[in-house]
């Protein structure tokens, strides 16, 4: 059984090559896999299922075809597309998962998450996250006219970019302590996440056990995908 994992595609009309690469993945490799896991930030930004835009509609079409090919697709929200809800998921034939979810690969229980929750040194982001993930904020935001939502999302992007330029790079990476805590909480030794755009396979000791943290890369210059089947796993680059 083959399971594929991707995240941080940041699909947007300004990067057609990433959209095409995603469509090609759906029409080829993903169709042959048993499961495709999308671990957040599928879109550069998502302001509500009622405003999919051309890119959203293309993605729905591609995911519908995948659904018809009998591959199950699962989605965990990222910090850019946490407003993806049931309307989008139903149209795309995709299953929504909670922030932390488990899969089993070759008998190995594996934790999947977007990765932002592991950046516990980034206190400003965590405060921001708490506000925008609250049901009150989301209800108010989704009730606004689309133009206003676009403006707010664009202002938030600008502010985030300005602040990120000032932050120490370590602050925007995961905290090893947070990684170990969550692994102990779920009693697992393997996790897969994205968000940091630092693709790598980290191996370390968790107590007496060997632990592995696989980080997916973003799709800005090239694609990134984890392929896991009976032969083991590979973190692959996909050229555009």
Among ligand LP5, Mn ion, none, what binds residue 126 when CB lies within 5 to 8 Å by partner kind? none
Q: Show the tokens assigned to 173.
A: 């990476």
Q: End-to-end distance of the chain based on CA atoms, in angstroms?
A: 26
Part of the chain binding Mn ion (CB under 5 A), chosen from 56-64, 70-78, 98-106, 209-217: 70-78
217 belongs to the binding site for Mn ion (CB under 5 A): no
Residue from 45, 79, 103, 196 that binds Mn ion (CB under 5 A)? 79
Tokens standing for residue 59: 């993605």
Tokens describing residue 52: 């999919």
- Under the binding rule (CB under 6 A), the answer on residue 79 touching ligand LP5 is yes
153 binds ligand LP5 (CB under 6 A): yes
Between CA 230 and CA 1 the distance in angstroms is 7
Residues 6+ away with beta carbon under 8 Å from 67: 73, 92, 93, 94
Q: What is the dihedral of CA 136, 11, 159, 192, to 10 degrees?
A: 80
* Nearer of residues 41 and 44 to Mn ion, judged by Cβ: 41
Confirm or reject binding of residue 144 to ligand LP5 (CB under 6 A): no
Residue ranges in contact with ligand LP5 by CB under 6 A: 45, 47, 79-80, 83, 116, 119, 122, 124-125, 128, 132, 141, 152-153, 155-157, 159-160, 163-164, 167, 172
Residue ranges binding Mn ion (CB under 5 A): 41, 78-79, 195
């Amino acid at each position: 059984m083959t399971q594929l994992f991707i995240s941080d595609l940041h699909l947007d009309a300004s990067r057609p090559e990433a959209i095409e690469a995603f469509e090609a993945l759906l029409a080829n490799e993903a169709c042959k896999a048993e499961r495709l896991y999308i671990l957040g930030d599928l879109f550069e930004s998502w302001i509500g299922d009622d405003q999919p835009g051309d890119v959203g509609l293309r993605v729905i079409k591609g995911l519908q075809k995948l659904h018809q090919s009998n591959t199950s697709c699962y989605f965990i929200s990222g910090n850019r597309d946490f407003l993806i809800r049931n309307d989008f998921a139903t149209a795309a034939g995709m299953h929504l998962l909670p922030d932390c979810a488990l899969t089993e690969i070759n008998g190995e229980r594996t934790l999947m998450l977007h990765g932002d929750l592991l950046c516990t040194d980034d206190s400003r982001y965590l405060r921001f996250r708490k506000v925008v993930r609250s049901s009150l904020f989301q209800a108010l935001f989704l009730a606004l006219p689309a133009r206003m939502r676009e403006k707010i999302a664009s202002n938030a992007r600008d502010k985030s970019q300005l602040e990120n330029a000032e932050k120490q790079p370590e602050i925007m990476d995961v905290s090893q302590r947070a990684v170990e805590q969550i692994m102990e909480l779920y009693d697992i030794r393997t996790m897969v996440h994205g968000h940091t755009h630092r693709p790598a396979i980290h191996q370390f000791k968790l107590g007496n056990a060997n632990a592995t943290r696989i980080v997916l890369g973003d799709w800005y210059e090239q694609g990134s995908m984890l392929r896991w089947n009976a032969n083991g796993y590979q973190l692959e680059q996909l050229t555009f």
